Structure 1
């Protein structure tokens, strides 16, 4: 098995000056969506262990909980930890009074969300502030215009987008430089490679890959479903449903076979594939267990040849993956275009 190797290398994320650890830590599953919230003290210990190991790029959102994950991060950042990390959080998804999801990017909401996140996190400035999903009712220029004001006021340092289309990214970047785009990218989620990744590279925007392990699939394959609680949202995702998951097992088996040959775990192999995509890519695998954290760090020691990269990609070709990334009703980059600025009539 690949070990932790040398201390985590650092990387430039985007071209605006932000530097982060070459692998980050996604914190969502500690508090929400992947089953019940985990014990707070255990998660604080995990976060601090990650920082001590060189993982300094922490990812959260006001919608994780909602709010509880930011509160957790705020507690974990006490006692001098804040100065050691690059903290990313997000705004843009809220719950209406009847419990439905609403995407918002209007200026008043952007500002209010930022102020609330700063308070929950107990910090004076957010290192990287993403729009979690573009608001298809508000021109992206309007949303980024307000974010630009927050940068000028020192409340945020860098601006990011999540699940944004190539055209949305271009329009946003014309208002204020975008530092990073967060998107789902893994061996079995590669649709972003056609247009979005090239757009980011053309503009000098960093790429943050969430769910790099296929939401845990590349750690243990379909048997992961046996340990998921009824509250885990993954149980309803198309790729994990009966009829699809059995066919996707083939992909995991091939990855596992190559991992055995390489002397690493399948999850390390899947992460190594992303690390080999370029020095502008930062995966942010999430975990709630220190052992898994150590394994994920070990992925940086796995070296792949061009032939091995091609072999991996052949296992999970577009035709081989069964099921969509998300079920209906969850907005992704493919439906994230916003109206033209000329249509905006103000608040």
Structure 2
């Protein structure tokens, strides 16, 4: 078995990293309760397996996720880990969402706090979580470029932006990668965003590769969803939408079983198969889920299997948007 990720580079200018990354959001926020000790053990297991790309956000648990990552990295070689941080989401003490702030002053302030929480001198990839509708992307990228020049940031990334914004940003400073949702049932980037990223030499770090658990093969239609789990409000997890989407999963399960793999492994392997410039981020919160995700590295999909997957889960076949309407409206990538 080959459960050590290959090495790759994020885009033409980004850092060298593992070809599979770990997304830490669920360890602190949005997916219901998580076990902190198990979360740290999962980060350790990922590092020991050769996963070096760690993705977090300063608003995940209002700083908790960065503090957790600091604890997990204690005693590890900082230079061997690539830390990707998203910023800009504004939140209240009641966990409410208050909008975005990615103006130069807010950008630099956010980084100052991030460096403190992570107890590090630099961030490998720093990126606004969303496009701030009140701030030209040139101003946000320009501010991060100043932080790059000062040595606090090594590379600039973006998240959930469209093709035009990518071009405007890249005209200011090289962009290492675009972090954006990409999975078998979220393929909106294929028409314009992915070709533009490739034209500009910008890599893709794909989150939601299991569509927040929907494509994991483990989701049950009668599963109780915690009040703090945003999937309780996600259109794809509601009523008839969920029934339809789980039928797609069952079609995928037949292909997985014939391959001797799990549904999750097939779904991750499919994303990885879309190009060497795409790095899947897996949101494992437990060591067993991480081990399953790492097993996707052994799954090499043939042309026939890719065709069967395409037939089982055609582009656009999911029921429901990937976010509720209010959140979709904030996505530059969807406009």
After TM superposition, the score normalised by the length of structure 2 is 0.95
Unmatched 5+ stretches in structure 2: none
Whether the aligned pair in 2 keeps the contact of 1:15 and 1:179 (CA below 8 Å) is yes
Give the counterpart of 2:60 among 61, 64, 74. Answer: 64
- Per-residue CA deviation, residues 234-272 of structure 1 (Å, 9 max, x unaligned), is 111001100111111221011000000000000000001
Is it true that 1:156 corresponds to 2:153 in the alignment? Answer: yes
- Secondary structure of the corresponding residue to residue 11 of structure 2: coil
Aligned pairs for 1:210-229 within 5 A: 210-220=207-217, 222-223=219-220, 226=223, 228-229=225-226
Q: Does 1:87 align with 2:83?
A: yes
Aligned to 2:331: 332
Offset at residue 44 of structure 1 (A): 1.3
Match of 1:254 in 2: 251
Match of 1:181 in 2: 178
> Aligned match of 2:303 in 293, 302, 306?
306
Task: Describe the SS at the equivalent of 1:284.
Answer: strand
Cα pair 2:236 2:320 within 8 Å, conserved: yes
CA distance in structure 1 between the partners assigned to 2:218 and 2:294 by the alignment: 20
Q: Given the superposition, is the C-alpha separation of residues 206 and 35 from structure 1 closer, same or farther in structure 2, using an over 3 Å criterion?
A: same
1:209 aligns with 2:209: no
The answer (yes or no) to whether the contact 1:221–1:252 under 8 Å persists in 2 is no
Equivalent residues of 2:147, 2:153 under 8 A apart: yes
Post-superposition Cα deviations, 1:148-193, rounded to whole Å, max 9, x if no partner, equal: 0000000000000000011001000000000000000000000111
Cα 1:114–1:224 shift into 2, 3 Å: farther
Unaligned runs of 5+ in 1: 337-347
1:197 equivalent in alignment to 2:201:
no
Q: How far off its partner does 1:17 sit?
A: 4.3
| Contact 1:222–1:246 (Cα < 8 Å) also in 2 | no
Deviations 1:101-150 (A, max 9, x none): 21111100000001110001110000011110010111111111101000
Match of 1:76 among 72, 75, 78: 72
- After superposition, the C-alpha distances for 1:27-54 in whole angstroms (9 at most, x for unaligned) are 0001100002x23222111101110011
Counting only pairs closer than 5 Å after superposition, residues 53-132 of structure 1 correspond to structure 2 as 53-95=49-91, 99-132=96-129
* C-alpha RMSD of matched pairs (Å): 1.6
Distance 2:28 2:97 in 1: 19
Query: What pairs up with 1:258-337 in 2 under 5 angstroms?
Result: 258-330=255-327, 331-334=330-333
Task: Give the drift of 1:196.
Answer: 0.5
- Choose 81-90 or 180-189, whichever is displaced more: 81-90
Structure 1 residue 333 displacement after superposition: 3.0
TM-score (norm 1): 0.92
Contact 1:186 1:213 in 2 (8 A): yes
